[in-house]
């Protein structure tokens, strides 16, 4: 089906002015938003002593040096960090999407007696939690400490994400599900052939949300893993940061005198940690284009 090009609809002068303004505003916003990223990149490539003396905005590296990257990348755990995170990502995302979809599907159906109480009980968990120690003891009880599964299973579902996915599932017209049911489809079939294909955009958001969560997560990794070779990337990077950074919040309160080896390392760490994320989003963007879905299905 040919999409009727919008340009054949008459564009008024007001419309044109709006377009120009829109582009201007968005360009301005982009410049403002790219500044912190640019700053970090430039700082990471700067020379340590010169960076220290620098005040004010940073538009290009002061001096030029790869020493910060050398210091970060020479750590042998970087490679294992990336691999571990990759493993957790693949296994984690799979379980996340499956479990969240099951839950969201259930919660989006009508005429289910126990749906409301279950929804309430689930929502409560977003607010009341037992805290760190009981959670840790639970992991110990299930023998999940010192394993990568310990970073996956207890975090299989984010209630927040599930609610968002549920909202999306709910907006799929009832008529489509009805049609499928008349054709004899059970719930599994409806989920897989009607709901999921129409939810590609929201599933892409789920992949992004969960993926970024796993990528950035370091706290539980550093808490439950005692074998350093199992550390995910962020834990490794955080250790490098602590070993080389004097301006952390607690530096003044604790031992006091710590050798400073340059803030450039802090910036290089951020780049090493964030670079892959840069490439993920363009990948997922194709799911956000208009009109891919409902129109296609109606055929």
Partner 1 sequence: MLRLRDIRKDKEKSMKTKERESFWIQVKKDWKRNRSLYLMVLPVILFYILFHYKPMYGALIAFQDYNPRLGFSGSEWVGFDQFNRFFTSPYFGRLVKNTLLLSVYGILFGFPAPIILALLLNELRAKRFKKTVQTITYLPHFISLVVVTGIIKDFTQSTGLINDIIVMFGGERSSLIQNPALYRTIYIVSDIWQGIGWGSIIYLSALSGVDQQLYEAASIDGAGRWKQLIHVTLPGIAPTIVIMLIMRMGQLLGTGYEKTILLYNEATYETADVIASYIYRVGILERNWSYSTAIGLFNSVINLALLIVTNKISKRVSETSLW
Partner 2 sequence: MIKRNNKIKKGALLMAAVVAAAGIATGCGNKDNGGAAPESQTTAQADASGKTETAAPDTAFSYPVAEGGTLSYWVELNANAAANYTSLNDTEFGKKLQENTGITIEFQHPAVGQVAEQFNLLLSNRTLPDIIEYSWMTYAGGPQKAIEDGVVLPLNDVIDSYCPNLKAYLAENPQVDKMIKTDDGTYYCFPFIRGGEKLKTSTGLMLRGDWLEELGMEVPTTMDEWHDVLTAFKEEKGAAAPFTYWYGSQGLTDNNPFAYAYGAPRNFYIGDDGSVHYGAVEDGYREYLQTMNRWMSEGLIDVDLATLTNDQVSAKITNGTAGASFGWCGSSLGTWTGAGRTTEEDFTLVPAPYPSVEKGTKPEFGQKDNDFVNMGCAVITTSCENVELAARLLDYAYGEEGHMLFNFGIEGVSYTMESGEPIYTDLILKNPDLSITHAMSGYIRANYNGPFVQDEAYADQYYTLDEQKEALAVWSDTNADKHIIPPVTPTVDESKEQAQIMNEINTYRDEMTLKFILGNKSFDEWDDYVETIKGMNLDRVLEIQNAALERYQER
Q: Give yes or no for residue 32 binding partner 2 (CB under 8 A).
A: no
Q: Which does 174 bind (CB under 5 to 8 A by kind): partner 2, partner 1, none?
A: none
Joined together, the tokens standing for residue 252 give 């003044």
The vertex-250 CA angle with 246 and 254, nearest 5°, equals 90
Q: Which does 238 bind (CB under 5 to 8 A by kind): partner 2, partner 1, none?
A: partner 2
> Which 30-89 positions form the footprint of partner 1 (CB under 8 A)?
30, 32-37, 39-40, 55-57
Q: How far apart are CA 280 and CA 165, in angstroms?
A: 20
Joined together, the tokens standing for residue 120 give 């309430």
C-alpha radius of gyration, the chain, whole number: 25
> Which 235-274 positions form the footprint of partner 2 (CB under 8 A)?
235, 238-240, 242-244, 246-248, 251-261, 263
The residue count for binding partner 2 (CB under 8 A) is: 47
Q: How far apart are CA 210 and CA 89, in angstroms?
A: 9
Q: Which of 60, 70, 143, 228 binds partner 2 (CB under 8 A)?
A: 228
Least CB distance to partner 2 at residue 34 (A): 22
Q: How far apart are CA 277 and CA 286, in angstroms?
A: 16
Joined together, the tokens standing for residue 128 give 């009341």
Joined together, the tokens standing for residue 143 give 């023998």
Contacts 24+ apart (CB under 8 A), 61-70: 65/264, 67/262, 67/264, 68/44, 68/262, 68/264, 68/265, 68/267, 68/268, 69/44, 69/268, 69/271, 69/272
Q: Give yes or no for residue 48 binding partner 2 (CB under 8 A).
A: yes
Q: Which does 175 bind (CB under 5 to 8 A by kind): partner 2, partner 1, none?
A: none
Q: Give yes or no for residue 205 binding partner 1 (CB under 8 A).
A: yes
Q: Which does 287 bind (CB under 5 to 8 A by kind): partner 1, partner 2, none?
A: partner 1
Q: Which does 6 bind (CB under 5 to 8 A by kind): partner 2, partner 1, none?
A: partner 1
Least CB distance to partner 1 at residue 156 (A): 6
Q: Give yes or no for residue 137 binding partner 1 (CB under 8 A).
A: yes
Identify which of residues 86 and 136 has a Cβ nearer to partner 1 in the complex: 136
Q: How far apart are CA 260 and CA 106, in angstroms?
A: 54
The three-state secondary structure class of 268 is helix
Q: Give yes or no for residue 252 binding partner 1 (CB under 8 A).
A: no
Give me the residues that bind partner 2 (CB under 8 A), please. Answer: 48-50, 52-55, 77, 113-114, 116-117, 120-121, 130, 132-134, 136-137, 141, 222-223, 226, 228, 235, 238-240, 242-244, 246-248, 251-261, 263
């Amino acid at each position: 089906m040919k999409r009727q090009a919008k340009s054949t609809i008459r564009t008024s002068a007001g419309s044109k002015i709006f377009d120009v303004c829109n582009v201007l505003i968005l360009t301005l916003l982009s410049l403002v938003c790219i500044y912190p990223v640019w700053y970090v990149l430039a700082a990471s490539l700067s020379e340590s002593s010169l960076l220290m003396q620098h005040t004010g905005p940073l538009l290009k590296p002061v001096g030029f040096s790869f020493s910060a990257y050398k210091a970060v990348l020479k750590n042998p755990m970087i490679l294992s960090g990336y691999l571990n995170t990759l493993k957790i990502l693949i296994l984690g995302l799979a379980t996340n999407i499956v479990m969240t979809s099951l839950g969201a599907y259930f919660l989006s159906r009508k005429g289910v007696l126990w749906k409301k109480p279950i929804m309430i009980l689930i929502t409560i968990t977003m607010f009341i939690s037992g805290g760190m120690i009981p959670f840790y003891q639970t992991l110990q009880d299930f023998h999940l400490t010192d394993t990568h599964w310990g970073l996956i299973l207890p975090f299989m579902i984010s209630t927040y994400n599930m609610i968002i996915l549920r909202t999306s599932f709910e907006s799929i017209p009832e008529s489509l599900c009805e049609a499928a049911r008349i054709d004899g489809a059970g719930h599994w079939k409806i989920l897989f052939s009607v709901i999921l294909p129409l939810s590609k955009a929201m599933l892409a958001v789920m992949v992004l949300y969960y993926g970024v969560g796993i990528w950035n997560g370091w706290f539980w990794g550093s808490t439950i893993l005692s074998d350093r070779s199992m550390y995910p990337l962020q834990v490794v990077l955080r250790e490098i940061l602590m070993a080389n950074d004097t301006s952390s919040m607690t530096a003044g309160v604790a031992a006091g005198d710590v050798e400073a080896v340059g803030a450039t390392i802090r910036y290089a760490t951020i780049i090493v940690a964030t670079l892959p994320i840069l490439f993920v989003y363009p990948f997922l963007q194709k799911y956000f284009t208009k009109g891919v879905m409902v129109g296609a299905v109606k055929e």
